[in-house]
Structure 1
Amino acid sequence: MKWIPLLMGALVLAGCASQEYQDNIKANQAVHQTIADKSTFTPKAKVTRIRKPPQSFALLATPSQDNAWMKEVITVNVSGMPLSVVLEEIMTGVDIPLFFGEGVDPNHTVTLNYSSARENVLNLLSRDVGYNIEYRAHRLEVSSTVTRTFSLNIPTGKMYGQLGSQGKQTKGEATIEGQYLNVKYSDVDITTEVANDIKSLLGGTEKANAAVSASVSLSAITVTATPDQMQKVETLIAHYQEELSKQVVLDVRVLEFRSNLGTERGVDWNVVRDTGSGLVKFFVPGTNTVSKQAGYGVAFQGTGKWSGTEALIKVLEKQGSVSTQTPITAMVLNNQPARITQQTLEPYIYEASSESSEGVVSASVTRREEVEGVDFMATANVQPEYVWLRLSGQLQKITGRENKTVENIELGFLTKQKSEITFANKLRYGQTYVIASVKQNSKLAEKTKNFWSDWLGGTGSQNTSVETLVLLTPRKVK
């Protein structure tokens, strides 16, 4: 009972608020009511409102009728009349000024009998007199030559590259070991080559050389020629533009296959062919002819939803374990060299030396790096149904690592194998090819003893084969 008055007093004090607090509450409520009154919309009877973003109203521009006179049908029947008179007759009723350029003879005789749209009549007149007749800058211009500037679909700069190997260089003489193939690109400039072809098309004379200029930095060619010659030049440029725009996707996949069947054969291609009820089909490279043989010299393709590489992995998993390295995808332009590389650097201690000076011995080591992976160069000639490829490079694989101690210094010794990639062949899109392979065989013999006796121990041996394959699949780009 003693605590009841104290509790009642506390409740009374908690329910009381200062006058300043009450005033602030009333002010806030007044502001809220003002906002509600001005933002609340009261719908009106028989009035509909829609909410739309701000609009700008402007007069619609009417289509230009500046060239409507070109579509008018006219009839021209003249014989032995000067060019200027014939043009005045053709342009009767059209308020367009005539302009005769340098080298144009206004008195050139014209014989013409034709009825068609005015633009067709002007085109026929242009072919008859050998002059260019063109409407531009609000006037009809007659000129003896046409000047056009063409921009090629090719980046600027010159190409340098080399496919193959020059062999090893020794002291004072070059040593070539085995067979080799070398293809070299030096100062290849597409813009200049196209300009030279245009000069040859125009006759190859000094006048033709002066009429063609090439801007290598802009990949542009400017040509001045007669209307008939310009049509031939435009046809030539259109052909080059189409060829330069072609491209192909080269999908490269590096597979490492480890056999667990206790053999040293690596990939058994006959088993690959017979596994999965024809999951992998083999073809003669560059054709649709099904090959009865299976091996490194043929192409293969998956069936159903599997691509060639995916189907091969599924089949190889029946013979052993397969590990896939990161695939390489390269977009190669038509007849443009491209380098495709996927390499890993393996550091190791190559050399060690020691020096003694005034009783102080100092040691120094030389550290080197060995490359493991694939590195090759490709040049493609893209065709509608197949691609011609020239490849050159190598696959290098580190097959063994061993550390040895020499003079109390531990050195690294690496064993590597490499496979040369050098071929030119016709390949069909979607078919997969084995372009390089490196095989590593290892034999393991173990012996154990128990209680220092061979009778209570055992022996074991294991033969393993690891094969690294480089698969290439060209894919068509639309």
Structure 2
Amino acid sequence: MKTRSAIAMAVIIALSGCGAMDHLEQKDAANDTLGQIKAYEGKQESSKSIYIDKPPLDLNPTIGEGAPWWVRKPAAIQGQDIPLSFAVRNLLQSANQKIAVNYGPDVVQDKIISVDYQGDINGALNEIAAKADISVSVHGNKINFERYVTKVFELNSLLGKSSFLFGRKANSVNNSGEGLANRTVTSSLGNSDTYATTEVVDINPFDDYLAAIKSILSRDGVSKDDKNPLEGNVIVTSSTASILVRTTPHRMSLVESYISSRKQAIARQVMIEVKVLQFKGSKGSEFGIDWNVIRNVSEGKLQFAGPSLPTLGDTGNYGFSFTSTNPKWDGTTVLMKSLQTQGHVGVEYEPRTVARNNRVASIDNSEKLTYIARVTVTPNENADASVEVEDAVVSDGLTMSVMPNISDDMVNLQISGVLSKVINWEDTEVSGVTIRAPQVQEIKFDQDVGLKYGETLVLNGYKQKSNKSDETSVLKNPFLGGNSGASSMTETIVLITPKRI
């Protein structure tokens, strides 16, 4: 019995030893794998891996896939005041190539050129063509010289004509109805002329392109009676927003430069950010914003430009601008923080829009309020009187149009807008119909101003003064109490800031 117990104990000990050895082997293998991973992580990246900031660019002249092998043969040509055909013939003979050469009907084969080139046949042909101001192409074993090249340019211009008006004309009528079907709404904002208006009618960008390109293609010394004053021709295809130009290589390069610069100018955009702030002075303040206090409180964080700042209680002299000198804060934020030292300030409207260069952008952050403006009663002998009701619409909010002219560091803005607020309604009853007449506070601004990116223009809005009186009594006896009064001013200002996109 003891023998069996001893044998069993020995087997258990042996098995435990095997398990321990297996654990140690697995642990060693794991440590070995971990060491290999760390060693791999420590290795530097392969030298075959490189990083580039832009796609690779090969500056060597390209040769079409169908170009023959012989255009890559070494070649050299040098000559002063030699005919075009002689230069081509001499080039091919020096390269020991017998190739057919075709000259277009407008190519002057005897045109005198000077050339000095060493490289391959392809480069030599391009050099000769450039000196003669003609185009060259190779097809199989044939060289073609042409007087003109043809190219189609796609333009980033919208189709159709555009018109715009900055300012207002008397008795302007809005036929859109502002959501009212088949009704003509007379604008309450167009009852008088502004002193200065800017109006442009039927602008067609393709006409500008056409006039400029014709000027580039016009030949020197051409009389007015010449029926063909252009070196080539140009065709505008408005339906596809493209222009086809056929002219000499040199003039084509000028056309390309013009269209490229024009497209870059049109593609420029700017963010126009508008904020309408409502400021209410502290108790007892009846003069509105003191801008000299703003200058002092901002401690140099705001840099003002333009006319002198409005004095306390001044309703004019606006149109100045400011910029923030603190890179962590924009100018409007610093201004609002400074205004809080004089009273309460809040943002009433905060619209923004993106405008393209020399294109009109509109902002309409207003509520359209419909009311019954007129009632016409027509008596009838045989029936009840007929009543004709005429609706009208008044805007409550900000309506603005802006056109930017964008340069590298400056934005010139043509601004025209109306800030209006309905403060009360007067009701009159006529033949059972209530006629409403709105009382509107309205500020119109038409401005042409140049601003830097991030610079904020300040336009004055409307001011409203309110008076408040209080009366107290003791035991319902007014003689034992007292009375007091206070005036406060609520002022609305418009901030316009162009921001770079």
Q: Give TM-score, length-normalised by structure 2.
A: 0.70
- Tell me if the contact between 2:168 and 2:192 (Cα under 8 Å) persists in the aligned partners: no
Alignment partner, residue 53 of structure 2: none
1:193–1:67 Cα change, 3 Å: farther
Q: CA deviation at 1:349?
A: 4.0
1:188-237 CA-partner distances (Å, limit 9, x unpaired): 11112111111122227642467111112222111111122222222222
- Alignment-derived partner of residue 35 in structure 1: none
**310 and 116 in structure 1: CA distance in 2 versus 1, 3 angstrom threshold:** same
Q: How far apart, in 2, do the equivalents of 1:469 and 1:145 lie?
A: 60
**Deviation larger for 223-232 or 67-76:** 67-76
Structure 2: which amino acid aligns with 1:415? Q
Q: Which one of 220, 225, 236 corresponds to residue 214 of structure 1?
A: 236
CA shift in 2, pair 1:230/1:423, >3 Å: same
Q: Please list, as runs of the form range in 1=range in 2, the aligned pairs for 1:195-210 lying within 5 A after superposition.
A: 195-203=210-218, 206-208=227-229
Question: Are the aligned partners of 1:374 and 1:394 in contact in 2 as well (CA < 8 Å)?
Answer: yes
CA contact (8 A) 1:397 1:438 kept: no
Specify the alignment match of 2:337 in structure 1.
314
- Which residue among 160, 165, 183 is the counterpart of 2:198? 183
Structure 1 partner of 2:42:
none
Q: Which of 262, 269, 274 is residue 247 of structure 1 equivalent to? A: 269
Q: Which runs of 5+ in 2 are unaligned?
A: 1-63, 173-189, 220-225, 312-316
Structure 2 CA distance for partners of 1:468 and 1:128, relative to 1, 3 Å: same
1:87 aligns with 2:88: yes
Q: Relative to 1, partners in 2 of residues 1:71 and 1:322: Cα closer, same or farther, differing over 3 Å? A: farther
Q: CA deviation at 1:457?
A: 6.4
Q: Do 1:395 and 1:436's aligned partners in 2 also have CA atoms closer than 8 Å?
A: no
- Please, which of 153, 156, 160 is the counterpart of residue 159 of structure 2? 156
Match of 2:363 among 333, 340, 361: 340
**Cα distance in 1 for residues equivalent to 2:216 and 2:415:** 33
Is 1:474 the counterpart of 2:498 in the alignment? yes
Q: Distance in 1 between matches of 2:452 and 2:274?
A: 15
Q: Does 1:415 align with 2:439?
A: yes
Counterpart position of 2:45: none
Is the 2:310–2:318 contact (alpha carbons within 8 Å) kept by the matching residues of 1?
no
> Residue deviations 1:150-182, cap 9 Å, x none?
12222222111111122348xxxxx99675111
Q: CA deviation digits over 1:65-117, x for unaligned, max 9?
A: 94776565411246787645643553546797644333235566666443234
8 A Cα contact 2:133 2:250, kept in partner: yes
What's the offset of the Cα at 1:429? 0.7
Q: Percent identical across equivalent pairs?
A: 25
Which amino acid counterpart does residue 418 of structure 1 have in structure 2? E
Is this contact kept in 1: 2:284–2:487, CA < 8 A?
Answer: yes
Aligned residue number for residue 350 of structure 2: 327
Q: 1:298 aligns with which of 302, 307, 320?
A: 320
Counterpart in the other structure of 1:380: 404
C-alpha distance in 1, partners of 2:111/2:431?
A: 100
Residue matched to 2:187: none
The CA deviation at 1:326 is: 4.0
Superposed, which structure 2 residues align to 1:4-153 within 5 Å? Answer: 66=67, 72-77=73-78, 83-84=84-85, 86-87=87-88, 89-91=90-92, 92=95, 98-106=101-109, 112-135=115-138, 140-153=143-156
Rounded Cα–Cα distance in structure 2 between residues aligned with 1:178 and 1:248: 30
Single out whichever of 423-432 and 400-409 deviates more from structure 2. 400-409
Q: CA–CA distance in 2 between the matches of 1:183 and 1:421?
A: 13
Rounded to whole Å, the distance in 2 between the matches of 1:81 and 1:388 is: 54
| Matched pairs, number | 406
Q: Which amino acid in the other structure matches residue 494 of structure 2?
A: V
Q: Contact conserved, 1:261 with 1:319, CA < 8 A, in 2?
A: no
Distance 2:494 2:387 in 1: 42
* TM-score (structure 1 length as normaliser): 0.73
CA contact (8 A) 1:354 1:364 kept: yes
| CA distance in 1 between partners of 2:145 and 2:65 (Å) | 24
Could you tell me how far 1:468 is from its partner in structure 2? 1.6
8 Å Cα contact 1:439-1:466 kept in structure 2: yes
After superposition, the Cα gap between the structure-2 partners of 1:95 and 1:298, relative to the gap in structure 1 and judged at 3 Å, is farther
- Equivalent residue, structure 2, for 1:11: none
For 2:392, the equivalent position in structure 1 comes to 368
The answer (yes or no) to whether the contact 1:353–1:365 under 8 Å persists in 2 is: yes
Q: Is the 8 A contact 1:199 1:208 kept in 2?
A: no
The one-letter amino acid paired with 1:390 is: Q
- 1:440 is matched with 464
* Residue 59 (structure 1) aligns with: none
How big is the alpha-carbon RMSD for the aligned residues of Structure 1 and Structure 2? 3.7
For the structure 1 residues 364 and 297, does the alpha-carbon distance in structure 2 shift closer, same or farther, using more than 3 Å as the test? closer
C-alpha distance in 2, partners of 1:237/1:148? 12
Q: Partners of 1:361 and 1:353 in 2: how far apart?
A: 10
What's the offset of the Cα at 1:472? 0.4
Question: CA 1:318–1:113 in structure 2 vs 1: closer, same or farther (change >3 Å)?
Answer: closer
Give the structure 1 partner of residue 256 of structure 2: 234
Number of the residue aligned with 1:26 = none
Amino acid paired to 2:104: G
Structure 1 residue 356: deviation in Å?
7.2
> What secondary structure does 1:325 align onto?
strand
**Distance change in 2, residues 1:465/1:237 (3 Å):** same
Amino acid aligned to 2:404:
A
- Quick one: structure 1 residues 365 and 85, their matched pair in 2 at CA, closer, same or farther if it must change by over 3 Å? closer
Would the alpha carbon gap of residues 146 and 430 (structure 1) be closer, same or farther in structure 2, given more than 3 Å must change?
same
Contact kept, 8 Å, 2:77 with 2:118, in 1: the verdict is: yes
| Alignment partner of 1:192 is 2:207 | yes
- In structure 1, C-alpha distance between the alignment counterparts of 2:416 and 2:390, rounded to whole Å: 32
Q: Which runs of 5+ in 1 are unaligned?
A: 1-62, 170-174, 286-290
Moved more, 272-281 or 64-73: 64-73
Identify if the C-alpha distance between structure 1 residues 377 and 276 changes in structure 2 by more than 3 Å, giving closer, same or farther: closer
Residue 390 of structure 1 corresponds to 414
Q: Which shows bigger deviation, 340-349 or 379-388?
A: 340-349
What does the per-residue CA deviation read over 1:234-258, in whole Å, with 9 as the maximum and x for residues that have no partner? 2222221221122211111111222
